[in-house]
Structure 1
Amino acid sequence: MPEHDLDLSSVHGTYERLIALLDSAGVPYRLVDHEPEGATEAVCALRGHPASEAAKCLVLRVKVDRRTTRHVLAVVPGDRRVDLDAVRTLYGARYAGFCDSATAQRLARALPGTVLPFSFDPDLELVADPEVVARPRLYFNAARLDRSLCLSGADYGRLAEPRVERIATPEAG
C-alpha cells in the first residue's frame, strides 16, 4: 500500500489514541511542535536534544520457521541501530529483517518517520531495548511529522509494556 493509500483517519486516530492513553493514565508528557521531519538525527536537532534520548521505532519481519512469521516493533535509542541478529536469536528465528513499507504502515497505523514506540495492533509485538526504558527523557514523533512527544522512559515502559531485551547495537567507541 503506497503512503497515499494509508487511511489518513487511521493515522489521526493513532495520535488521538496515544494522547487518550497518556491522559487516562495521568502520565506527565510534553508535546513539541516542530517543522515536519521523520529522520531521527534531523528531528532531534529540531527538538533540541541528543539522539540518545530519542526512541527509534522499526517494524521488523521475523521468520521463525517456514510457516510462522511474526512482526515486531523494535524500539532502540536514536543513536543506535537495531541488532537484527539479536532479534533473530531472541525469537529463535531463521531470519529477521525490515518489514515492507505497506505492512509496516498497516500494523503501526502510521506513516514512515512517525511510528510510535507503542503497538495498538495485536499482530505487532513490541520489544524495547533496556536503554530506552531507562531514559529520564524519551522523545518520539507522535504519529505526526510535525509534533513530537516527550515522557520518561519509566512511564513509557509502564504504559507500553514492551518486552524489554537487548536489541540495540553496542555503542560506538
Structure 2
Amino acid sequence: MPHHDTYEHLIALLDAAHVDYQLLDHEPEGATEAVCALRGHPAAQAAKCLVLRVKVDRRTTRHVLAVVPGDRRVDLDAVRTLYAARYAGFSDAETAERLARSVPGTVLPFSFDPELEVVADPEVVAQPKLYFNAARLDRSLLMSGADYARLAKPRVERIAGPAPQ
C-alpha cells in the first residue's frame, strides 16, 4: 500500500465509523514537539507512535506499534515484560515503514498490517483530545482518545516512561 493510500484508508475508516474528527493542515513536520507547537497544543495530547521489534525467543519476533503520550518515552522494559520477551527495541526504518505503511514522523496510532500489533498507554486513550500526524507530514488529525480506542482496538497497557518533571 503506497503511503498516500494509508491516509485515504484512515479517512475512509473514520468516515465509515461516523467518528467525529478534525483535520489540521500545517507546515510539514514529523518531530512530536515541533508539530505540537505548530498545532498549538500540549505534547501530552499527542499520540507518539513507534514501531518496535520484540524478540520473544530465538525464533519468535513480534512487531509492536507502541503509542504513548507525546511528552513521554516508550518504556522498552515494560514492553519486554509485557511480552515475556528477551529483547524489545526500536525496529529498523525499513521494517517500520513497511509495517506502518508510512514514513517516519507520520506513523499512525492505527495498524493496517496484521503483523503489527497496537499497544497504547492508558493515558493516550484517556485523552479527550488526541492529536497525531495523519500519515502525512503536512496534515494532522484530532479525535477523542475514546473514539481512537473504539476504532483502533489497541491493547491498553502501561508502556510510557515517567511523566516529565
TM-score by length of 1: 0.94
**Does 1:66 pair with 2:71?**
no
Task: Indicate yes or no: 2:135 matched with 1:128.
Answer: no
Of the candidates 23, 36, 61, which is equivalent to residue 31 of structure 1? Answer: 23
The match for 1:147 is: 139
Match of 1:14 in 2: 6
Give every structure 1 segment of 4 or more consecutive aligned residues whose post-TM-superposition deviation is greater than 4 Å.
Answer: none
Q: How does 1:153-172 map to 2 (within 5 A)?
A: 153-172=145-164
From 85, 94, 104, the equivalent of 1:93 is 85
Maintained 8 Å contact 2:71/2:164: no
Looking at structure 2, the residues matched to 11 and 164 of structure 1 have their Cα atoms a distance apart, in angstroms, of 26
RMSD: 0.6
> Is residue 46 from structure 1 mapped to residue 25 from structure 2 by the alignment?
no
**Percent of residue pairs identical:** 81
Q: Deviation per CA, 1:84-113, whole angstroms, max 9, x where unpaired?
A: 000000000000000000000000000010
- What is the count of residue pairs matched by the alignment? 165
Q: Which structure 2 segments of 5+ residues have no match?
A: none
CA distance in 1, matches of 2:66, 2:164: 20
Distance in 2, Cα, partners of 1:37 & 1:171 = 24
1:137 maps to what in 2? Answer: 129
Q: Secondary structure at the match of 2:108?
A: coil
Runs (5+) with no aligned partner, structure 1 = 1-8
State how far apart, in whole Å, the 2-side matches of 1:107 and 1:53 are: 24
